[in-house]
């Protein structure tokens, strides 16, 4: 795993190499150093098919600059500026990239801020570090419409039978996306690999305080899913904020203020 810099002076992201051939991939990332050494820093984890330059990610960067906080944000393989194909993506690959970037490009306690699939990966990363005896690396989590177990609970369980046949027999199911002109892509590898990382079947122990923000008009991750998650966060302090008119993105100015307020409480 090698970190290298790509012309940062003109705003280009840096690159971090994860894995070994033939599964090596170049992960694009941006890092803001904290003003005060030792203060908590933030790590942004994007959703499925989103990237580190999204509305929430850039708003968080501006807030980090205002507060003098460090911030690490990156694109998973197959997303944004990173290489790879979306069809090759799995929860295992994206979790490996998350942990690798976190270990190599951040120091001290971190607050993980994850949106949708990024909230799921934040929980998986925090649990992995807690189990590895590195509980102090995660100070807290802010989870925005967390799509926990999304491959199973939100994709496979809700897919029509013809979609399931396409996944199992052809290896992929594509469906129109409400957020992009490109179709969403769900592969057999993504679904089967996701079953290795299911969280909602038992208690989730991260060792970190958690704040969940959830829109009640979210058509991708219903707020009942957030309620189910809260029941599994045993032993760790957790709060849930329901936004009555909030959708899945929670990217309006008033939604961003809720994200900043959650950070303030957890600092």
Tell me which of 61, 149, 193, 218 is the catalytic residue: 218
CA distance 3 to 14: 8
Placement of tokens 């590195």 in the chain = 134
The residue annotated as part of the active site, out of 75, 116, 197, 220, is 116
CA distance from start to end of the chain = 31
Q: Are 240 and 227 in contact (CB under 8 A)?
A: yes
- Judged by DSSP in three states, 220 sits in coil
How remote is the C-alpha of 17 from its chain's centroid?
19
Distance CA 129, CA 37 (A): 22
- Examine the residue annotation and report whether 41 is marked as an active-site residue of this protein: no
Structure tokens at 102: 């976190």
Instruction: Report how far residue 31's alpha carbon sits from residue 213's, in angstroms, rounded to the nearest whole number.
Output: 25
User: In the annotation, is 197 catalytic?
Assistant: no
The residue from 79, 197, 225, 248 that is catalytic is 248
Could you confirm whether 248 is annotated as catalytic? yes
Q: Which residues are catalytic?
A: 116, 218, 248
């Amino acid at each position: 795993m090698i970190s290298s810099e790509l012309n940062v002076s003109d705003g280009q992201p840096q690159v971090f190499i994860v894995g070994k051939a033939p599964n090596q991939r170049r992960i694009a990332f941006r890092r803001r150093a904290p003003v005060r050494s030792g203060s908590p820093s933030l790590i942004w984890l994007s959703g499925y098919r989103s990237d580190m330059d999204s509305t929430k990610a850039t708003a968080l960067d501006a807030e980090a600059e205002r507060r003098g906080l460090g911030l690490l944000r990156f694109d998973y393989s197959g997303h944004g500026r990173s290489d790879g194909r979306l069809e090759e993506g799995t929860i295992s690959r994206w979790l490996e990239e998350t942990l690798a970037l976190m270990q190599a490009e951040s120091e001290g306690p971190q607050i993980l801020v994850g949106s949708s699939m990024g909230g799921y990966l934040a929980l998986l990363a925090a649990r992995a570090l807690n189990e590895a005896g590195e509980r102090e690396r995660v100070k807290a989590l802010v989870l925005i419409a967390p799509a926990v177990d999304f491959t199973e609970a939100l994709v496979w369980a809700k897919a029509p039978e013809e979609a399931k046949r396409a996944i199992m027999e052809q290896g992929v199911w594509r469906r129109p996306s409400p957020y992009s002109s490109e179709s969403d892509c769900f592969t057999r590898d993504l679904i089967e690999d996701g079953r290795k990382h299911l969280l909602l079947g038992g208690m989730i122990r991260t060792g970190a305080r958690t704040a969940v923000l959830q829109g009640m008009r979210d058509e991708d991750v219903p707020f009942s899913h957030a309620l189910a998650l809260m029941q599994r966060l045993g032993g760790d302090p957790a709060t849930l904020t329901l936004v009555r008119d909030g959708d899945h993105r929670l990217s309006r100015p008033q939604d961003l203020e809720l994200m900043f307020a959650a950070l303030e409480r957890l600092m």
